[in-house]
Structure 1
Amino acid sequence: MADQIVQSIVDWISVVPPIGVYLIFFGIAYIENLIPPMPGDVIVAFGGYLAAEGLIGLFPVWSLTVVASVGGFMTMYWLGHRWGAQIEENRDSHFLLRFIDYKYFARGKKWMSRWGQGVIVANRFLAGTRSVISLTAGMSHLKITPTILSSLVSSVLWNTLLLAMGWVIRDNWQIIGEYLSNYGKVILALIALFVGLKAYFSYRRRKQVVKDEKE
């Protein structure tokens, strides 16, 4: 399904004028933050290939995708900020919870309270959790200016990497999708392992405390 979406977007890009190409990249980079299944990273990497072929400018597509990524992140931040209280009060019925399980919000809030802006800086590299991070940043009422700057740093680093990959790989840019898919699986597995280990050691500590109290 994702491959079909990518191919459709690529075909679309090939028949629109240059200004339309830039607008497509901007739109994809923005929407990808709102609709996680959107394969935005692969399309950004395709931009690196087009720039390497001289069909579009590297700096314009880089700038537009970075701005769009930050804009998309802050849109989700606003939704979390605006609806956060209602989500907390209506955990079984709020409309956002039809799409994202509340446990992810709860986990994201713990991350925010412990690592704060560090989570925002890392968010572009944490595949599969971006929307949750941006929403929980808003729910946690993180300060707007530092959050924008952290999101900017994250987007600059990630989009630079994607465009560089597309530039270097060129005609074989489509294999980046496979790399990103495997990368996403590894990241999710590491996150799950981290959460599991933390829960395990927390359980061990509680058990030890109970044991010490009995003694």
Structure 2
Amino acid sequence: MVASAAPAAPSWITGLMDAMGAPGAGLAIALENLFPPLPSEVILPMAGFAAGAGKMDLWAVLVWTTLGSVVGALALYGIGALLGRDRTVALAAKVPLLKVADIEKTEAWFAKHGTKAVFFGRMVPVFRSLISLPAGVERMPLPVFLGLTTLGSAIWNGLFVMAGYLLGDNWEQVASYVSLYSKVVLGVAAVAVVAFVVVRVRKSRKEKARRGSGHEEKQPTRR
């Protein structure tokens, strides 16, 4: 399989790292957590390449990018905590095809699998940002959240920083394959959303048809 072309890094990210070094890479990763379309698959190996070229210290890059991931995740955790369960349920009740029961099922799932979701979610594009919101809504103990986020982010970031460091001028190969991985993940998520909508619409139509049929069959009361 041939990897797709690597996405180009926005010039301001390159300028940020040129001006600030490793802290600039950390800031870029923090912003990537808050705005997932930013290309972390470019930022991390590019920072590793810069470290290999002697422009940054490798350990500083590893520490600052992990710190950036934790700060970004903590910001989203705070948003989830401020939103809270009551507001989440109220918002869910206003979303077409979404039911309060869906939120309750999600809560039950998160209560059982939340720690694994937060840890492994750091290694899944887009979801590594979004997983912080339910953690905040459900008020996962902050030390647990920070510990899992730090460990998961250190593993994920370290892999791609080191890949860029070792590959040198070929660091863009990493970005190409991670970009492909991201597209696969997003494609699976899109299919899941479409399947959910189709199933929910069909169920809603059947319920309406059943209620309409019951109304027509009802006989008038004789006096």
1:79-158 → structure 2 map (5 Å cutoff): 79-84=79-84, 85-91=86-92, 106=103, 109=107, 111-158=109-156
Question: Does the 8 Å contact 1:47/1:166 carry over to 2?
Answer: yes
The alpha-carbon deviation at position 156 of structure 1 amounts to 0.8
Question: Does the 8 Å contact 1:108/1:132 carry over to 2?
Answer: no
Identity of aligned residues (%): 26
Change (3 A) 1:129 1:111: farther
Q: Partner amino acid for 1:176?
A: V
Question: Does the 8 Å contact 2:48/2:164 carry over to 1?
Answer: yes
Change (3 A) 1:81 1:166: same
Moved more, 167-176 or 180-189: 180-189
Distance across 2 between alignment mates of 1:124 and 1:109: 20
Question: Does the 8 Å contact 2:122/2:129 carry over to 1?
Answer: no
State the partner residue of 1:171: 169
Change (3 A) 1:111 1:176: farther
Q: Partner amino acid for 1:12?
A: G
State the partner residue of 1:39: 39
State the partner residue of 2:210: none
Q: Partner amino acid for 1:53?
A: A
State the partner residue of 1:63: 63
State the partner residue of 1:73: 73
Query: So what's the TM-score if we normalise by structure 1?
Result: 0.74
Question: Does the 8 Å contact 1:65/1:159 carry over to 2?
Answer: yes
Change (3 A) 1:41 1:135: same
The alpha-carbon deviation at position 108 of structure 1 amounts to 5.9
The alpha-carbon deviation at position 143 of structure 1 amounts to 1.1
Unpaired runs of 5+ residues, structure 2, are: 1-5, 200-223
The alpha-carbon deviation at position 22 of structure 1 amounts to 2.4
Change (3 A) 1:102 1:50: farther
Unpaired runs of 5+ residues, structure 1, are: 201-215
State the partner residue of 1:183: 181
Alpha-carbon RMSD across the aligned residues, in angstroms, is: 3.3
